[in-house]
Structure 1
Amino acid sequence: MAPKSSKPSAATGGKTKPAGKSAAKSAANASDKRATKPATAAPVLADVRAKIDEIDRTIQALIAERANFAHQVGKAKGKLAAAVDYYRPEREAQVLRMVVDRNEGPLSDEVLVHVYREIMSACLAQQEPLKIGYLGPEGTFSQQAVLKHFGRSAVGLPMATIEEVFQEVEAGNADFGVVPVENSGQGTIQVTLDMFLTSNLKICGEVELRVHQYLLSRNGRLEDIERIYAHSQSFAQTAGWLRSHLPKVEKIAVSSNAEGARR
């Protein structure tokens, strides 16, 4: 239904020809503009790749320049300085904060922090790679924390117990130690807290990890599982699921989930 109007229009009479000419002329002008507007040329793949190669060369040169300056930092600290003297957690935190503050996308803060941490780890390793003790064996959440915080240029030293991690750092066999402190499900790790009460070591950093638990089996059938090996914390965190799906399965606590996977 058309709305009522007291004004003449091309459909209701009056001087319709001028209105028709004007409309036709406007339509023609719009058509001319569309026809004459230049189309945006699609980027040529070879040109884009050539530009990326040029950027990569610049990035590589700047990383090498940064590594040279990091080497000068080592020289300034003297020949007798140990690897632990080169690594300053507060300086690293400052650099990473500046990375985040400068970030305008499209990469996320997390991605850029990961990239810069690996660059700093590689530069630091020029002097002497950091030796990091952690609760082993390989594959534990503690090892994940080592990689996240110190990068892949650090040397990881897996230890059998949390106590051994403290002992190796105190003895100078490891520059730093990474041990679990708390989790959102079960709270603090009592063994770690007890060690801080008797040790002269101090906390110099914190790493947060999102923990995912997986149930591994050789044949993949729940009904064939007779026993489960895992760390006691993992049993506590998955108690509800285990009660619902595997209530009669034997649960055997081991030193780590990685050790459980080995069994």
Structure 2
Amino acid sequence: MSDSPSSWPDLATLRDRIDDIDRQLQVLINQRAECAQQVAQSKMAAEGDDTHFYRPEREAQVLRQIMERNQGPLSSEEIARLFREIMSSCLALERPIKVAYLGPEGTFTQQAALKHFGHGAISVPMTAIDEVFREVEAGAVDYGVVPVENSTEGVISHTLDSFMDSSLQICGEVVLRIHQHLMVGENSRPDKISTIYSHASSLAQCRKWLDAHYPHAERVAMPSNAEAARKVKGEWHSAAIAGDMAAELYGLTRLAEKIEDTPDNSTRFLIIGRQEVPPSGDDKTSLMVSMRNQPGALFEVLDPFHRHGVDMTRIESRPSHTGVWNYVFFIDFKGHTASSNVQQVLQDIGEKAADLKILGAYPRGVL
């Protein structure tokens, strides 16, 4: 039969073919990089000092097209990741993007930043979410990455509160599967662990596993998982719960992997910047709405979405800064502010709301 082992090319022939394909890929990738440089020159000639080298809507469109035309054997997501890194390196030739994220190094937020922007971006760790906002607002960095909600533990209130006093725009989103690992340094033995460090959210996400395996160990909340990993590196009888990046960065040994109680545990991160993003063809919009404290206020927020056929994907309420028992609604929905039905929703809500703020219209997460 034609598919029998005897009909296959010999190993030397296959290796020669791989080498030839690699040479072709290298030439094509460099041709793409040269084209990216020409794009940068064209942008600068047309836009001058206001040039935006990174275009979220364009990159989302390119990645979607790559995934749609993929025929395997590599998965569409894996192919998109490869192209993400190629695009990141090409963009760095135009001008490297500086991205602030909630640090220190090794956090899930840094992992999300690298997933979204690629390794060609310059990532800058910040110690708090509001510092990420300030760095972007001041122009010290181009973009920021902040967590906004976890599928197990819910909304990150600090991020939502930061939008109340900020003029920044949401430029994109990225969803990261969160895998928690129990890890130790070289001075700790598994049977002697008396303290376990991690971020409070991660401790909560692994509560059942910890109850079953380390019921008597003290659980100590830290500012971040990465900080927990760094702390246990030189300690005795302690362990940290953190992710892959932290384990590699601080040279820790994984005692147990994927200990999160919910297998599909994920965190959504927002990309914040200073420019509005044009439609990409598959978008989301985020709003902040302040309603007058009166009966039926929530209905007046929700009804326009139903009447105009706009799909709401999330709604959260937070206490307002303007008065006791006043609340602000944070709303995500499918669609872009440029579309007519979304504009009708915004008009209807605006007529009833005390305040309406568009936080951003941006491409739905691709990877």
> Do they fold alike, i.e. is TM over 0.5?
yes
Question: Structure 2 matches for 1:26-37, cutoff 5 A?
Answer: none
Distance 1:188 1:61 in 2: 46
3-state SS, counterpart of residue 104 of structure 2: coil
- Report the residue type matching 2:13 in the other structure: D
**2:70 alignment partner in structure 1:** 103
Select 1:76's aligned residue among 24, 42, 52.
Answer: 42
**2:132 alignment partner in structure 1:** 165
Is 1:245 the counterpart of 2:220? The answer is no
3-state SS, counterpart of residue 180 of structure 1: strand
- Is the contact between residue 254 and residue 260 of structure 1 (CA under 8 Å) also seen in structure 2? yes
- Is the contact between residue 232 and residue 254 of structure 1 (CA under 8 Å) also seen in structure 2? yes
Distance 1:220 1:111 in 2: 37
Q: CA offsets per residue over residues 33-57 of structure 1, 9 Å max, x none?
A: x9xxxx9644122222222222111
3-state SS, counterpart of residue 168 of structure 2: coil
3-state SS, counterpart of residue 61 of structure 1: helix
Structure number with the bigger relative contact order (C-alpha 8 A, sep ≥ 6) is 2
Give, in angstroms, the shift of residue 220 of structure 1. 5.3
| Structural RMSD (CA) | 2.0
Question: Structure 2 matches for 1:58-69, cutoff 5 A?
Answer: 58-69=24-35
After superposing on structure 2, the runs of 4+ consecutive aligned residues of structure 1 that deviate more than 3 Å are: 39-42, 79-82, 218-223
3-state SS, counterpart of residue 216 of structure 1: strand
**2:228 alignment partner in structure 1:** 260
**1:236 alignment partner in structure 2:** 204
**2:178 alignment partner in structure 1:** 211
Give, in angstroms, the shift of residue 223 of structure 1. 4.1
Q: TM-score, normalized by length of structure 1?
A: 0.80
Q: What are the ranges of 5 or more consecutive residues in structure 1 without an aligned counterpart?
A: 1-33
Question: Structure 2 matches for 1:84-103, cutoff 5 A?
Answer: 85-103=52-70
**2:288 alignment partner in structure 1:** none
Q: What are the ranges of 5 or more consecutive residues in structure 2 without an aligned counterpart?
A: 232-367
Distance 1:250 1:56 in 2: 53
Distance 2:11 2:214 in 1: 55
Q: TM-score, normalized by length of structure 2?
A: 0.58
- Report the residue type matching 1:235 in the other structure: L
Larger radius of gyration: 1
3-state SS, counterpart of residue 161 of structure 2: helix
**1:16 alignment partner in structure 2:** none
Q: CA offsets per residue over residues 97-153 of structure 1, 9 Å max, x none?
A: 110111111110111001100010000000211001001111100011011111111
- Report the residue type matching 1:240 in the other structure: K
Distance 2:119 2:59 in 1: 16
- Is the contact between residue 196 and residue 202 of structure 1 (CA under 8 Å) also seen in structure 2? no
Is 1:127 the counterpart of 2:94? The answer is yes
